[in-house]
Amino acid sequence: MTELGDGTRCVHGGLPGPTPGTPLLASPVLATGFHAGHPSYGYGRADNPTYRALESAIGALDGGECVVFASGMAAISAVLGLASGKVALPSDGYYLTRTLAAELPVAVVEVPTTGPWPSFDGVDLVLLETPSNPGLDVCDITALASAAHAAGALVAVDNTTATPIGQRPLELGADIVVSSDSKALAGHSDVLLGHVTCRSADVAAKVRHTRTVHGGIPGPFETWLAHRGLGTLDLRLARQAQNAAALHAALRGHPLVSDLRWPGAARDSSYVLAAKQMRRFNGIFTFTLPSIDAVERFLARSELVTAATSFGGLHSTADRRAQWGDPVPDGFLRFSAGCEDTEDLVADVLRALSTSDG
């Protein structure tokens, strides 16, 4: 059989073969203890059939062995824990990753996503984030992985923005993929979850051991919700990208909008490299309004856009990132296009902006 399409794999991933009279999607296994004697399931902190079902689905999409965690930060923590001496990571990536790395007993080298990246001599873990959050800059995973491997370093890629069907870092040379699945993968803004997928079974075993010992385990119900949400990832990503493209076109040249960025736009500075290594684009784009007041007026007058700090869900959201300490202008917005009708969303955003200058 030829390789199945994204939609088919999202819908059927991690599910057992059909058995008459059984549910299409098994219920979450809520047990803490299990009858002794099973090779995998003995105590809920170590493993759970609901975890394994979602891990099977995500692992197939990423192309490796997946371990799910209670949150994206729990997943990032497990990956950073693989380093013993020196870590290289993006200075413009997710701010809590930098915060966590600074608190660990390792040396940290921070480099902008677009580089230039220095020699990786002495580095044992390189953590990339592409497209970066929130700036949406892109780096060449294949080239950086080759350089890092030559220096003996592991390469991990934060793939939260791209999603497992938008980009496959393991196929591009990375050793590890890490993601916050609270975002697009689960997709309904009702789950905290993360995952790590590894090319090597040995590295995956270390990551799974960290989860068991440190206790960063997800709840079975949250895991089940994420598995349910994964089934529509292909459909949601398509609508979100469609809406981002339409909004990007509508906002280009708008008098209140500056620094408009979306890697899926042919004129974007990240487009050439993004198009080379990404399989498809998503609904995340950014732009800057003249002031905090302009942002507040825009959000207050929009009927469809909600101020929220997460992204990738069904509903369109916008987040003023400077309030969280990102080194961006006060009026910088990370916009997550949702699954609303395109015409409705574009009209709403333009109407809110037309009056946001008072």
Q: How do residues 311-347 score in pLDDT, each as one tens digit?
A: 999 999 999 999 999 999 999 999 999 999 999 999 9
The mean pLDDT value for 179-196 works out to 98
In a domain, 60, yes or no: yes
Beta-bridge partner residues of 88: 109, 126
Q: Is the dihedral of CA 6, 11, 16, 18 positive or negative?
A: negative
Q: Do 200 and 82 share a structural domain?
A: yes
Beta-bridge partner residues of 248: none
The mean pLDDT value for 23-46 works out to 88
Work out the percent of the chain whose per-residue pLDDT is above 90: 92
Q: Do 219 and 242 share a structural domain?
A: no
Distance CA 193, CA 234 (A): 19
Residue 1: the pLDDT is 58
In a domain, 44, yes or no: yes
Q: Do 153 and 239 share a structural domain?
A: no
147: exposed, middle or buried (Cβ count in 10 Å: 0-12, 13-18, 19+): middle
Contact (CB, 8 A) for 241 and 274 = no
Cα–Cα distances (Å) from 272 to 155, 276, 318, 334, in that order, read: 22, 6, 26, 21
Q: Do 273 and 222 share a structural domain?
A: no
230, 261, 293 — which closes off a domain? 230
Sorting pLDDT into bands at 50, 70 and 90, what band is 358? very low
Residue 355: the pLDDT is 67
Sorting pLDDT into bands at 50, 70 and 90, what band is 42? confident
Contact (CB, 8 A) for 135 and 260 = no
179, 204, 230 — which closes off a domain? 230
Contact (CB, 8 A) for 250 and 346 = yes
Q: Do 221 and 246 share a structural domain?
A: no
Contact (CB, 8 A) for 259 and 288 = yes
169, 197, 230 — which closes off a domain? 230
Number of domains making up the chain: 2
Token duo for residue 43: 């105590």
Q: Note the Cα 36 to chain centre separation in Å.
A: 37
Q: Average pLDDT over the chain, rounded to whole?
A: 96
Token duo for residue 230: 């994964």
Q: Do 253 and 117 share a structural domain?
A: no
Is the pLDDT confidence value at 234 over 90?
A: yes
Sorting pLDDT into bands at 50, 70 and 90, what band is 22? confident
The mean pLDDT value for 113-136 works out to 97
In a domain, 151, yes or no: yes
Q: Do 218 and 87 share a structural domain?
A: yes
In a domain, 226, yes or no: yes
In a domain, 249, yes or no: yes
Contact (CB, 8 A) for 330 and 293 = no
Q: Do 135 and 83 share a structural domain?
A: yes
Tokens 């004129």, residue located: 267
Token duo for residue 129: 């984030």
Work out the percent of the chain whose per-residue pLDDT is above 70: 99
The mean pLDDT value for 12-38 works out to 89
Beta-bridge partner residues of 284: 336
Distance CA 72, CA 29 (A): 22
Distance CA 295, CA 189 (A): 22
Is the pLDDT confidence value at 70 over 80?
A: yes
Is the pLDDT confidence value at 291 over 90?
A: yes
Boundaries of domain holding 191:
6-230
Q: Do 202 and 238 share a structural domain?
A: no
Asked which of 34-48, 93-107, 220-234, 268-282 is least confident by mean pLDDT, the reply is 34-48
Judged by DSSP in three states, 299 sits in: helix
Contact (CB, 8 A) for 80 and 73 = no
Q: Do 223 and 238 share a structural domain?
A: no
Q: Do 84 and 108 share a structural domain?
A: yes
Q: Do 284 and 171 share a structural domain?
A: no
Distance CA 138, CA 277 (A): 10
Distance CA 106, CA 35 (A): 42
In a domain, 323, yes or no: yes
23: exposed, middle or buried (Cβ count in 10 Å: 0-12, 13-18, 19+): exposed
Higher confidence at residue 357 or residue 329?
329
In a domain, 83, yes or no: yes
pLDDT digits (tens, 9 = 90+) for 236-254: 999 999 999 999 999 999 9
In a domain, 1, yes or no: no
What CATH number does residue 341 fall under? 3.90.1150.10
